[in-house]
Each structure stands twice: as structure tokens, then as C-alpha cells.
Amino acid sequence: MRPSRIVAFSLSVILMLLFASGAMAQTEATAEPQAETTQQPASNPTATRPTAVQATPTATAGPAQQTYTVRYGDNLFRIALRFGTTTRAMAEANGIVNPNLIFTGQVLNIPSGGTTPPTATATATAVPPTPVPPASDEGYVVQRGDTLLSIASRFSTTVSALVRANNIPNQNIIFTGQRLTIPAAGTDAPTTAGANTDVAAVPGSTTIENAGFAYGIEAFAFGQDLAAIRQELGEVGANWVKVRVDWRALEPVQGESNFAELDSIVDALNTDEFNILLTVTNSPTWARTAVDENGPPDDLADYGNFIGALAERYAGRVDAYEVWDEPNLRRNWRCDTNGNPTICDIDYVDLLTAAYDAVKTVDSAAMVITGGLSPTGYNDGINAINDRIYLATILANGAGAVSDAIGAHPGGWANPPDAVCCDQSTGVETHFEDSSFYFLDNLEAYRQIMIDRGDGGTPIWVTKFGWGSTEDGDAPSTNNVFYSYTSLSEQALYVPRAFELGQELGFVGPMILDNLNGCQGLPSRVEACYSALIAPDGQPRPVFEAVASVEKPEPEAPQRPLPPTPEPEMTPEATPEATSVLNG
């Protein structure tokens, strides 16, 4: 080859290489980022509880199919929510048999009609536990579906004790095949302020054959159109209806009760065969020396007389009574007369006992529920007592023996029902920093406390829960700013999911949504309007249709503790052994 041709050929090769490298650099600079996946160990992870994480969905949009790569913390419900589709549609599009089981790195097809949304909060739901072998002397090997809560319950210990014994950095994550050291039984049982520390945790049943799960809602019926309320309750598909009974309003003068309007309400609800829960709270002024805020009566027998009169009047028509409302807050449990605001030192269990005895005397079939507590991180004894400490205390003092179920107000604020502390959801600027702000955290914490105290066979009744929105109303106060973080469409998603979670947990009885008609029925409480299913203009909000469209199974009668069988009275002649012992 001639030198001139060699030079020309070499130049052409160099030019081609330069062009190619430039093209490659351009490709690398403009390539679309792909969804990151979390590297996992060889074994499949088992979430101890749903763990909320921030995730920006990265979907690959093609001419025929949109896809999404599952990230750590995702579940099918949240992915469907993110892309504007449904869990069922996602499962069908991907041949998923168990919607609770998806894997990090799994590529999912997004059904047609799904959209690519902005950044959202993703959560993961734990797989229901399955029966597993007992622990050996070397510890316990985690099985598929296990959670730290289920393992702690099985071996009579606590989640925190397991975390410490195994140096677990994140209690939300354990792995199938992981070997855990089991602490000594009863390790780290909670010691609560004010509790009777002589009462140790007693091993008891940790299973509930039938908690009586059912759909319920609170209706503000006094002064309202009962025909309209009945129609709305029927349309939304409620099984239970909660009615708040203000003792102060019904018996303003001792011994002179006016039940006329309550009679009409009970009659109307019975016409449509709703189960009825009456929450009986707020002492009249004649019954207490203190005049500030609300609180128990000076003589607890007065409350027993009033709730007993209700139970006798409505025997066979009212199904359950909730004894007081959020007694762990000073505003509801105050009795000081010296101007120093503190929570009353009257033992709530004494009030509960008076109510239980009064109700059961006249209507043994009626259920008695402990007053739902306000979830709060405060524990100063002035403004509030931490609800978890309060629950452990009243259980230690015998509340389980004078109640049929434990009332709970698990809240949620603006955090999704699947979320757990303390993952900040998109758009939630406050009220995410403590576990008391999370619906699921509160229910699981209550359940663990009950197991630790030997009351694991008792169901939890959610007597108040819900999410509110200010999207179609006035701006909230600083204390209620969290209502502004939730849109009406999010409210319509969160409430049905919370009902679903309650049913899945297995220890939850009736769930009472807050509320049907707060805008009209309780105009003095703006937060009641934020949470209502009926908007200020009287029209149903999106959440109304969302709850109405949920397929509701026929509710089962809740599990009721059997009354003790009285021992037959025996004369000394009939029991010679006893007689000989007594006679020495």
C-alpha cells in the first residue's frame, strides 16, 4: 500500500473513533435514570411492620406497556395508589396470586389507564404469620411471615427485648432464616407510672377466636333530621353507629333526666337494625365540685346510676356502652378546685367498675368498653398522661375484669394508615415525629401492652379513627394544621385502607369512623367537620362513596367473655372432707 493511502486510511479511522466516542458520551449524558433497587440478602426479608419510605416511582413508558420496578418498602396497594389504578388490577396484570407478597427488584406491568404520578409515600405490609416450630436452645430461626411482634408474643417477651438481645438496627426488618436469641420470658415488660407494680404480667390467651370486626361510624344525631341520617347510614353500609351521650345535657338536675330525644334516636336506629354504641361522658355541674373543663363526678355512684338507667331503658336495643371519652386528657378528667390544673387522681378503673356493675345488672348482654384514649406523647400529669402508660396502668389495676373490650382512638393525623414511625410522608410537614401519630403503630402498641398484661384474649374496639381534610373548608388553626396536609382524594383512600388493616389484624372488633355529619351536627367543633363524610354544603365527600363501595361481609357477633359459673353452695354435711379440715 502506498504511504499516502496509509496516511489517509489512518486519518479516517481516527476520525471514526473520535465520532463514536462523542456519540457515546452524548448517550451517557442523556440516558434516563432507572429506578434504584435495594440490594437484598439471599433470603427474603420479612417486614416486622409496614415501613413507610420515600420513593419516586420510575416507570418505563413504552408504546404498549408501562412498567415499574419494586423498591424496598413498596407494597401493591401503595403502587396502585401511586399510578391511579387498583390492587386487583395490578395483581391481574402481573399474575400475582398473593397481593401481600412482592419483591424488591420485581418489574410490574402497570395496567392500562395508570398514570405516572409525582413523588409519593410507599409502604409495605407484613405477610400474615404462619404456624412455625418452637425455638431451640440455640434460639429461634425466623420463618416466612414472621414479625418481631408475633415472635415476641409467641415467646412471652417484648419487641424491644428482642431488638436489644439481637442488636437489630431496624426493628422493622428481619430476614427469613435469621437466627434470633430469645430473651428470658417476661424480659423488659413495661413498668408504668402510677401502675400497681405488685400486679405482675399474667400469662393469658394471645389469640382471639372472633373479635367481631365490623364497619361503624359516629353520627351526630341530636337536633338533626333522623330520616336523612338513617338514609346516609344505610347508603354508606354501616353495621354499627356510635352516638355520644352527654350526661351533663341529659341530666342537668339530679334525678331529672330527659331521655325523649335519645329515645327517638335509639328507636330510629333500631328500625334499620343498626348496632348501637353509646359513649357516655361529661359530668353535670351538680355532680362535681370542680367547675373547670370536664371530669368525673365526686361520687362515682352517680355515674353508675345514670349509665345503669340507660342500660335498663334500652335493654336489648343498645348493644354497647363506652365508659367516658379520652380520660387520659386533663380537659376530660379534671377535678381540682384550687386553680392548679392537673389531671384528676380519681382512678378511672373505679368509674369503670361502677359502670360495669350497673350495666350488667340490668342488661347482661350489653357490652362495656373502656373509654378510648387520646394518643399522645405527653406525660406530664398536668395536660395528659401518655396513652400507652395509661393503658398499662388501668390493665394492671384490673380494667380487664370489668370490661368486655378495650377502646382505642388510634388516630393517624395526616400519615397514611400503613405508615409507621417516623418516615415523613410527602406533604406532611408536622405530626410525623412520634409513634403516637401513626394509626398502625398505636394499634400494635396497644396489642403488645395487652399481651404483656395477660389480656391478649380481649379485642380492641376502635371507637374513633379517621382522616380529615380542609380542601373544601376553612384553613385550620395551628393546632389542627395537619388537616391541611390531606386532600379529599387521600382521605377517600386512607379510610377504606384503615378498615382493611383492622380486619387483617385479627384482634380488632368494630371500627367506628369519625364521622358522618360533623359539619351539620357539631358546628362548634371545626375538626369534626374536617373529618366528616358529608361536606359543609351537605353533599357527600369522595370518602363517602369510597366507604360505601367497600364490600362488607356480614358482621359476626363479637366474642363476649362467658360469665363465671357460680359454685354450688355446699353444706358441711355434703363435704365431709372440707368439714374435717375445718375442724382440724
For the segment 437-491, what is each residue's pLDDT rounded down to a tens digit?
999 999 999 999 999 999 999 999 999 999 999 999 889 999 999 999 999 999 9
Q: What is the pLDDT of residue 574?
A: 34
Where does the pLDDT of residue 554 fall: very low under 50, low under 70, confident under 90, or very high at 90 and above?
confident
Cα–Cα distance, 394 to 194 (Å, whole number): 9
Q: What is the pLDDT of residue 354?
A: 98
Q: What is the pLDDT of residue 170?
A: 52
Distances (CA, A) of 311 to 240, 276, 319, 363: 17, 12, 9, 6
CATH 3.20.20.80 segments of the chain: 214-548
Which residue, chain included where needed, has cell 437484598? 40
Lowest mean pLDDT among 114-128, 358-372, 521-535: 114-128
**What's the average model confidence in pLDDT over 262-273?**
98
User: Could you tell me whether strands 59-61 and 66-69 are parallel, antiparallel, or unpaired per DSSP bridges?
Assistant: antiparallel
Terminal Cα-to-Cα distance of the chain (whole angstroms): 130
Q: Give the residue with greater pLDDT, 373 vs 578.
A: 373
Does 93 score more than 70 pLDDT? yes
* Mean pLDDT for the chain overall: 79
Cα–Cα distance, 400 to 387 (Å, whole number): 16
Cα–Cα distance, 437 to 481 (Å, whole number): 14
Cα–Cα distance, 244 to 525 (Å, whole number): 14
Cα–Cα distance, 553 to 563 (Å, whole number): 29
Residue type at position 204: G
Beta bridge partners of 280: 245, 323
**Which parts of 176-251 are beta strand (E)?**
179-180, 214-218, 240-246
**What's the average model confidence in pLDDT over 276-302?**
97
Q: Is the peptide bond before 442 cis (omega within 30 degrees of 0)?
A: no
**Cβ count within 10 A of residue 253:** 10
Q: Which residues lie below 8 Å from residue 576, measured CB to CB, with a gap of 6+?
A: none
Residue type at position 415: N
Contact (Cβ atoms closer than 8 angstroms) between residue 296 and residue 331: no
Cα–Cα distance, 551 to 523 (Å, whole number): 31
Name the fold adopted by 214-548. TIM Barrel (3.20.20)
Where does the pLDDT of residue 178 fall: very low under 50, low under 70, confident under 90, or very high at 90 and above?
confident
Q: What is the pLDDT of residue 398?
A: 97
Contact (Cβ atoms closer than 8 angstroms) between residue 109 and residue 77: no
Does 560 score more than 80 pLDDT? no
Distances (CA, A) of 416 to 173, 420, 477, 503: 20, 9, 21, 17
Helices and strands: H and E segment counts in the chain? 17, 17
Angle at 550 between CA 83 and CA 276, to 5 degrees: 140
User: Could you tell me whether strands 214-218 and 508-513 are parallel, antiparallel, or unpaired per DSSP bridges?
Assistant: parallel
For 34-58, how does the pLDDT look when each residue is reduced to its tens digit (9 = 90+)?
A: 333 333 333 333 333 433 333 334 4
Q: Which residues lie below 8 Å from residue 526, measured CB to CB, with a gap of 6+?
A: 473, 474, 476, 477, 480
Residues in the chain: 584
Where does the pLDDT of residue 275 fall: very low under 50, low under 70, confident under 90, or very high at 90 and above?
very high
Lowest mean pLDDT among 14-28, 178-192, 255-269, 533-547: 14-28
Q: Give the residue with greater pLDDT, 377 vs 273.
A: 273
C-alpha cell at position 181: 436469641
Does 584 score more than 50 pLDDT? no
Q: Give the residue with greater pLDDT, 523 vs 13.
A: 523
Using CA atoms of 419, 421, 425, 427 in order, give the dihedral in degrees to the nearest 10: 120
CATH 3.10.350.10 segments of the chain: 57-118
Residue type at position 441: D
Q: What is the pLDDT of residue 143?
A: 81
Q: What is the pLDDT of residue 122?
A: 34
Closest among 311, 409, 412 to 366, alpha carbons compared:
311
Cα–Cα distance, 348 to 381 (Å, whole number): 14
Does 293 score more than 80 pLDDT? yes
Cα–Cα distance, 221 to 255 (Å, whole number): 24
C-alpha cell at position 119: 413523588
Where does the pLDDT of residue 242 fall: very low under 50, low under 70, confident under 90, or very high at 90 and above?
very high
**Cβ count within 10 A of residue 184:** 11
**Cβ count within 10 A of residue 311:** 23
Which ranges in 211-273 belong to alpha helices (H)?
A: 226-236, 247-250, 260-271
Contact (Cβ atoms closer than 8 angstroms) between residue 201 and residue 189: yes
Which ranges in 259-399 belong to alpha helices (H)?
A: 260-271, 300-313, 348-362, 387-396
| CATH superfamily assigned to domain 57-118 | LysM domain (3.10.350.10)
Where does the pLDDT of residue 208 fall: very low under 50, low under 70, confident under 90, or very high at 90 and above?
confident
Does 188 score more than 50 pLDDT? no
Does 191 score more than 50 pLDDT? no
Where does the pLDDT of residue 317 fall: very low under 50, low under 70, confident under 90, or very high at 90 and above?
very high
Q: Which residues lie below 8 Å from residue 383, measured CB to CB, with a gap of 6+?
A: 329, 330, 343
Does 353 score more than 70 pLDDT? yes
Beta bridge partners of 279: 244, 322
Where does the pLDDT of residue 84 fall: very low under 50, low under 70, confident under 90, or very high at 90 and above?
confident
Does 79 score more than 90 pLDDT? no
